[in-house]
């Protein structure tokens, strides 16, 4: 099974399934066998890139509604 990603209203990005998370150098985060993690979207987590619930404390507000992206621009 591939990964399922859910962007939560006023909160985190939940990632479930078979995935890995890499730092900018390509080194994988040790996920301790987890198949579900939540990623920070508010920017206030002390455990970035993972969510620690700070969005509730700081009143992060960003409702989400699915939409279609425009086609990618051609590369020149």
Under a CB-based contact definition with an 8 Å cutoff, are residues 38 and 52 in contact?
Answer: no
- Token pair, residue 16, equals 């479930």
- Give the CATH H-level superfamily of domain 1-63: CDGSH iron-sulfur domain, mitoNEET-type (3.40.5.90)
Name residues whose C-beta falls within 8 Å of residue 10's C-beta, 6 or more positions apart in sequence: 55, 60, 61, 62, 63
The predicted model scores a pTM of 0.89
Conformational region of residue 18, where left means phi above 0, alpha means psi within -120 to 50, and beta covers everything else: beta
- Token pair, residue 45, equals 């987590």
Per-residue confidence (pLDDT) for residue 76, from 0 to 100: 87
What residue segments make up the domains of the chain, in order of their start?
A: 1-63
What pLDDT tens digit does each residue of the chain (76 aa) get?
Answer: 689 999 999 999 999 999 999 999 999 999 999 999 999 999 999 999 999 999 999 999 999 999 999 999 999 8
């Amino acid at each position: 099974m591939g990964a399922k990603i859910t962007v939560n209203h006023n909160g985190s990005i939940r990632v479930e399934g078979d995935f890995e998370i890499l730092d900018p150098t390509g080194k994988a985060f040790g996920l301790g066998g987890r198949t579900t993690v939540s990623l920070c979207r508010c920017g206030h987590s002390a455990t970035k890139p993972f969510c620690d619930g700070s969005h509730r404390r700081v009143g992060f507000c960003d409702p989400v509604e699915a939409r279609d992206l425009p086609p990618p621009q051609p590369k020149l």
